Structure 1
Amino acid sequence: MSTFLTDYNLIPFHLSLLAVLLLGMVETIGYYINISPSQVLKRIAPQRIQELALLNVKFSKTLILFFLLMNFSFAGYVLQFCIHAKEGQFVPAYYLILPALIIAIFFTVFMIHCLDQVVPPKYKKQTVNLLGRLATISSGNARPGFSAQARVRDEFGQLHYVQVEPEFGELEFQSKIILIRQKKSHYIGKKISVSNRLFNPS
């Protein structure tokens, strides 16, 4: 046990695990005194870092660092013990820092993605502007006064189903359209011809 704790080849992973414990303690104490370290980090972090896609999640950014450090520590231990079981000794830590970091990032992104799917959003999403976006009629035909359902993706790739009707003429099932105007309950769409460059980029 003493060898495990004092072996210098395991020190980076010991430090990472210690940082996890300290981070958890600080966050817990901050919760009770109403001073969250994650809010402090958010204030001092540059705006570009705050807007990274990886950090655009619904929970505390401190949790990302917590997962990363924890996964780095565990990945390092697993790699070292696997090598020790085969070679009978630990290898220098600098050989495993990069592989352990890659494994840690992979599992951290996976854990963040899983949590992001189940954690409810802190704020309600703002109304998405779909004007000017391409859509496809997905149910029935549409004509003036009678709308049909169309599917369209917003700028973030999120799929939406909206009601669409044309200014004139008819929009057939599976026809490609562009949303040009919005009314109270539906959009006005204009059909895109097959020869149009928007319809057939090639």
Structure 2
Amino acid sequence: MLEQFLTPAYLPFAVAFAVMIGIGLIEAVGLGLGHMDVDGDFGTDAQGSVLDWLGLGGELPILIWLTSLLGCFTMAGIIIQQSAAGLTGAALPWYWACGAAALAGLALNTLAANGLARVMPGFETTVVSTDDLLRLRGTILEGTARRGQPARAKVVDRHGQAHVVLVEPHDDHGALSSGATVLLVRRERALFFGLGDENTLFQAI
């Protein structure tokens, strides 16, 4: 069976299986890559519905979803090739088998991913989206942040994890010195804007 698995007709499924094992090892050693932010601004409800259909609309870690997809693709491909060999005496060309396995694997993975999401109700991720860092305080690590000259700041999220972000002062003519505590009030892409604790907005009226 192993020799058959390495023939050209089965090779795409052998590769998918190897990648699945690799991702599983990454998850097993806990490198923290399992949950990625897939809650981007999609713009339409239709795109969100597609994600829900794929099983990505919930809190299922994306690498677990991908591992499941690769497993379903591999299983579907082997079944297709074994069935073709039993009926015609020869496996299908790899490209025909890949196309059929991709469709079947995607459908199977939808069921598998939704099932996994239901049996993992207690899953809690310590990964936060970028916007979750807003309204948190950080500390300027080095240098002085000015408009157009961001400085690195350390921010601790609600889970106690530290993040290093680039920060500029919210005020056009403001400056945030090394060691200063700042409140992150807005962001533009990867750049945050902060108000220092000494800002007059924080002083009692």
Q: Normalising by structure 2, what TM-score?
A: 0.50
- Out of 29, 32, 52, which is 1:36 matched to? 32
Within 1, Cα distance between the matches of 2:114 and 2:28?
Answer: 24
Contact 1:58 1:121 in 2 (8 A): no
Instruction: Give the paired residue count.
Output: 116
Within 1, Cα distance between the matches of 2:71 and 2:121?
Answer: 24
**1:150-199: CA deviations, max 9, x gaps?**
xxxxxxxxxxxxxxxxxxxxxxxxxxxxxxxxxxxxxxxxxxxxxxxxxx
1:112 partner letter: A
2:85 corresponding residue in structure 1:
84
1:184 corresponding residue in structure 2:
none
2:111 partner letter: F
Within 2, Cα distance between the matches of 1:107 and 1:68?
Answer: 8
Within 1, Cα distance between the matches of 2:69 and 2:115?
Answer: 15
2:169 corresponding residue in structure 1:
none
Within 1, Cα distance between the matches of 2:119 and 2:13?
Answer: 30
1:107 corresponding residue in structure 2:
108
Alignment of 1:89-168 (within 5 A): 89-120=90-121, 122=123
User: Structure 1 residue 91: deviation in Å?
Assistant: 1.7
1:60 partner letter: P
**1:36-86: CA deviations, max 9, x gaps?**
1224xx26x782479643312233121110110000001000000011112
2:40 corresponding residue in structure 1:
47
Q: Normalising by structure 1, what TM-score?
A: 0.51
User: Structure 1 residue 19: deviation in Å?
Assistant: 0.7
Distance 1:68 1:120, change over 3 A: same
User: Structure 1 residue 107: deviation in Å?
Assistant: 1.0
Which segments of 5 or more consecutive residues in structure 2 lack a partner in the other structure?
125-205
SS at match of 1:78: helix
Identity among equivalent positions (%) equals 19
SS at match of 1:47: coil
Question: What value does the CA root-mean-square deviation take over the aligned residues?
Answer: 2.5
Within 2, Cα distance between the matches of 1:69 and 1:82?
Answer: 20
Distance 1:25 1:102, change over 3 A: same
Within 1, Cα distance between the matches of 2:100 and 2:87?
Answer: 18
SS at match of 1:37: coil
Distance 1:2 1:46, change over 3 A: same
User: Structure 1 residue 95: deviation in Å?
Assistant: 0.8
Within 2, Cα distance between the matches of 1:28 and 1:100?
Answer: 27
Larger Rg: 1
Distance 1:94 1:114, change over 3 A: same
SS at match of 2:91: coil
SS at match of 1:12: helix
1:76 partner letter: G
Distance 1:115 1:3, change over 3 A: closer
Contact 1:71 1:104 in 2 (8 A): yes
1:13 corresponding residue in structure 2:
13
Which segments of 5 or more consecutive residues in structure 1 lack a partner in the other structure?
124-202
Distance 1:55 1:85, change over 3 A: same
